[in-house]
């Protein structure tokens, strides 16, 4: 009996609380809560009117026997019991509305890096000889091709030396011709001397000439032979002089070529370091060039994410000057040394096709794709509890009822969401964000969360 009275008193107290403030159990955005608030608002409106009517009754009516009051109490208790039952059903059994995370296809797992536009090949080009700058053919920002003339030194003195050497070649060639003519003359003299000597020998045998004359003719023949040998040696000397003169010409022409500066490869002129009239020293830089096919974006990636990178992975490059355009590229090189201060790794991302408007040292953003998920459920960290070491617990809706599941999570995406890799039932939908009233087994009415 005592317990029953206590229960009745609790229900009455609960009813009074509801009459005083129905927002205790009702939520402004809940359909059922709004119905309760409307009901108790109506009761609060009727109560004063009823009290006024009672106060306006005759005194005899107001002073009715007290035995009618228990009947009013029974009515209030009945109303309280009904309201308590409705409230219990609302809290324990009414469906709760939840939003579910969408299933997305071909989700790219990416790593982000901030960096600048740079180049693998950058060269300071200058002359191999000293001189005075007489001509500059290109300027900063110009595109150049391999072999293109960039600048020239004043080369009038070396050009004159080349002309002198060419004249020496002509003289050497004339000396060769003269030496060869001397050989022909010496050969004729020797031939004549041999013929005379032969005739003298016959005359001596027949005693028509003296032996002394024959000896003189033989001496003349030997002199002619010596003259022929000397002439042939002169030809060799003249030919050697000719070769030396030609070599001098080649040397001077090569030196003259050093007075002209050529582009070593296709590229861009990123700076012009001297002006006309300057006197560059041997090897001093006149221009700074970069090879066009080695321009890339040097990105700085957090070391915690760098382990997912490898050469050849596809990437996208966004220049700060054109943030609406994503330029395709790929990972060309991963630096061997990390930055120990910022705990970042340098990653060089090459352009698949070089853009027309490119500026070195411009800030760039790189997005490197490390993998692709054919199908994935993506949940924000707010929808995951007990998140640690790639595991977490999520609310799910399975066959219209709420459940809790521990799942395996993949690396966080750039938008902050986490892909669920394993742990879900085949028919499970994941609650995108927790709401009040979630309880295992409670019915759920689902809506899809908006796509990002």
**d(C-alpha 169, C-alpha 253), whole Å:** 14
Residues 145 and 278 in one domain: yes
Which of 372, 403, 419 finishes a domain?
372
Residues 235 and 266 in one domain: no
Residues 273 and 298 in one domain: no
Residue 250 in tokens: 């080649």
77 versus 102: the higher-pLDDT residue is 102
**CA-based nearest residue to 327, from 365, 360, 294:** 365
Residue 228 in tokens: 């022929």
Residues 177 and 253 in one domain: yes
pLDDT on residue 358: 83
* CATH code, 298: 2.40.30.170
pLDDT on residue 23: 43
pLDDT at 225 over 80: no
Residues 162 and 45 in one domain: no
Domain that holds residue 298: 111-121+289-372
Which of 310, 337, 372 finishes a domain?
372
Strand partners, 405: 394
**d(C-alpha 231, C-alpha 151), whole Å:** 50
Q: Residues 129-145: pLDDT tens digits?
A: 999 999 999 999 899 99
Length of the chain (residues): 452
Cα–Cα distance list, 189 to 185, 217, 439 (Å): 6, 12, 131
pLDDT at 418 over 50: yes
Residues 162 and 13 in one domain: no
Residue 42 in tokens: 């109506």
- pTM of this prediction exceeds 0.75: no
Cα–Cα distance list, 239 to 173, 181, 235, 281 (Å): 7, 14, 6, 39
pLDDT at 414 over 50: yes
Residues 267 and 313 in one domain: no
330 versus 7: the higher-pLDDT residue is 330
Residues 81 and 133 in one domain: no
Q: Residues 209-224: pLDDT tens digits?
A: 556 565 666 677 777 7
Residues 138 and 271 in one domain: yes
pLDDT at 261 over 60: yes
Strand partners, 314: 330
pLDDT at 77 over 60: yes
* CATH code, 139: 2.40.50.100
Residues 131 and 276 in one domain: yes
What is the average per-residue pLDDT within 383-406?
92
Residues 69 and 164 in one domain: no
Residues 320 and 391 in one domain: no
Q: 2: pLDDT confidence band, cut at 50, 70 and 90? A: very low
Number of domains into which the chain is organized: 5
> Which residue's structure tokens are 């009051």?
69
């Amino acid at each position: 009996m005592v317990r029953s009275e206590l229960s009745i008193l609790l229900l009455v107290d609960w009813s009074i609380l509801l009459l005083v403030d129905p927002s205790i159990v009702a939520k402004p955005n809940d359909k059922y809560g709004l119905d309760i608030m409307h009901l108790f608002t109506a009761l609060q409106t009727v109560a004063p009117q009823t009290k006024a009517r009672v106060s306006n009754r005759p005194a005899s009516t107001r002073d009715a026997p007290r035995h009618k009051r228990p009947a009013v109490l029974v009515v209030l208790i009945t109303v309280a019991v009904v309201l308590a039952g409705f409230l219990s059903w609302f809290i324990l059994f009414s469906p709760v509305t939840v939003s579910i995370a969408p299933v997305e296809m071909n989700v790219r797992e990416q790593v982000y890096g901030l960096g600048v536009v740079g180049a693998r090949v950058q060269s300071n080009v200058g002359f191999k000889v000293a001189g005075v700058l007489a001509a500059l053919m290109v300027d900063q920002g110009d595109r150049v091709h391999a072999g293109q003339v960039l600048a020239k030194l004043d080369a009038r003195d070396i050009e004159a030396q080349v002309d002198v050497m060419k004249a020496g070649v002509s003289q050497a060639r004339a000396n060769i011709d003269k030496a060869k003519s001397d050989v022909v003359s010496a050969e004729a003299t020797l031939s004549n001397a041999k013929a005379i000597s032969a005739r003298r020998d016959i005359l001596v045998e027949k005693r028509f000439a003296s032996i002394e004359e024959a000896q003189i003719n033989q001496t003349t023949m030997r002199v002619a032979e010596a003259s022929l040998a000397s002439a042939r040696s002169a030809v060799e000397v003249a030919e050697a002089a000719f070769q030396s003169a030609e070599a001098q010409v080649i040397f001077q022409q090569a030196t003259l070529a050093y007075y002209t500066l050529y582009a070593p490869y296709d590229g861009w002129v990123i700076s012009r370091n001297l002006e006309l009239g300057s006197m560059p020293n041997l090897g001093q830089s006149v221009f700074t060039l970069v090879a066009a096919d080695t321009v890339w974006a040097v990105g700085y990636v957090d070391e915690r994410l760098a382990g997912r990178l490898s050469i050849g992975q596809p990437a996208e490059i966004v220049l700060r000057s054109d943030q609406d355009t994503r330029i395709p590229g790929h990972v060309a090189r991963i630096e061997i040394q990390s930055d120990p201060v910022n705990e970042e790794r340098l990653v060089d991302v090459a352009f698949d096709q070089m853009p027309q408007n490119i500026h070195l040292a411009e800030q760039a953003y790189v997005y490197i794709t490390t993998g692709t998920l054919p199908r994935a459920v993506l949940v924000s960290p707010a929808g995951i509890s007990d998140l640690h070491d790639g595991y977490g617990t999520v609310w799910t809706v399975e066959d219209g009822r709420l459940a809790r599941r521990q799942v395996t999570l993949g690396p966080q995406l750039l938008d902050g969401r986490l892909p669920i890799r394993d742990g879900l039932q085949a028919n499970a939908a994941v609650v995108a964000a927790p709401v009040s009233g979630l309880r295992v087994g409670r019915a759920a009415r689902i809506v899809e969360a908006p796509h990002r």
